[in-house]
Amino acid sequence: MKIINLGESNSILNQFIAQIRDKSIQKDSLRFRKNVERIGEIFAYEISKTLSYKATDVETPLGIANVNLPEDKLVLATLLRAGLPLHQGLLNIFDNAQNCFVSTYRKSGKDNKFSIQLEYVTAPSVEGKILVIADTLIATGASISLTYNRLVDSGEPLHTHIVCPIASKDGVEYLSKNLPHKKVTLWLGAIDEELTNKTFVVPGLGDAGDLAFGAKH
């Protein structure tokens, strides 16, 4: 698996990452959602550089312009509910993409342990397409791995891009061990060193779903 951490280079992305972490700015849920959406747009632009292109004639009022246009078919898959603003940013750029939505949750077990359960998926076929899986925060990596395996059950994508603004080091290592090495690229904005025994990413940003859409019971 190829790992690309855009936060290692100086760009405006780092400002948006800083603002979604900042607890004072987080109080404005509209601002939080917009910043995550902007981050999605930046990731989409970077992913667009990896696509296949075809020379195409475009008729203007004054003549013909030849332009290289992307020819890959894309599927944007998003984990509910925290991934929705990130999904919107990706969709702003890849506006012709098909869309997939995935619901996962933590199922509590004994000794305060839990497992990740996949509850619901609505998805087109990913066979022969570029698959983009988006979530705002990767803690253990289990939800992303489960989602990937479920989606490729029905077909093999040409390539899979996993997009996440912030991930834990443990989550990145888990995905590196559990996903195919050649056909998956992990795009990140930051990698945080600590993952607590309750799987909180530190410094992280808190609960992305709550920050975007309000606290849940």
Query: Are 187 and 6 spatial neighbours (Cβ–Cβ below 8 Å)?
Result: yes
CA distance 133 to 214: 23
CA 67 from chain center: how many Å?
29
CA distances from 13 to 6, 48, 53, 93, 160 (A): 8, 16, 26, 16, 22
Give mean pLDDT, residues 182-195.
95
pLDDT of residue 114: 67
> In this predicted model, what pLDDT tens digit does every residue of 70-125 receive, in sequence order?
999 999 999 988 999 999 999 999 999 999 999 987 766 666 666 778 888 999 99
pLDDT of residue 110: 64
pTM as predicted: 0.93
The three-state (H, E, C) secondary structure of 54-123, written as one string? EEEEEEECCEEEEEEEECCCEEEEEEECCCHHHHHHHHHHCCCCEEEEEEEEEEECHHHCEEEEEEEEEC
Beta bridge partners of 48: none
CA distance 34 to 89: 9
CA distance 75 to 132: 6
Query: Are 189 and 10 spatial neighbours (Cβ–Cβ below 8 Å)?
Result: no
Tokens of 174: 């888990």
pLDDT of residue 119: 82
> In this predicted model, what pLDDT tens digit does every residue of 124-179 receive, in sequence order?
999 999 999 999 999 999 999 999 999 999 899 999 999 999 999 999 999 999 99
pLDDT of residue 105: 75
Peptide bond into 203 cis (omega under 30): yes
With a cut of 90, say whether residue 204 has pLDDT above it: yes
Q: What is the assigned CATH class of domain 2-51+71-211?
A: alpha beta
pLDDT of residue 111: 62
Query: Are 90 and 41 spatial neighbours (Cβ–Cβ below 8 Å)?
Result: yes
Tokens of 180: 């195919």
Beta bridge partners of 58: 65
CA distances from 12 to 92, 109, 162, 189 (A): 18, 42, 20, 11
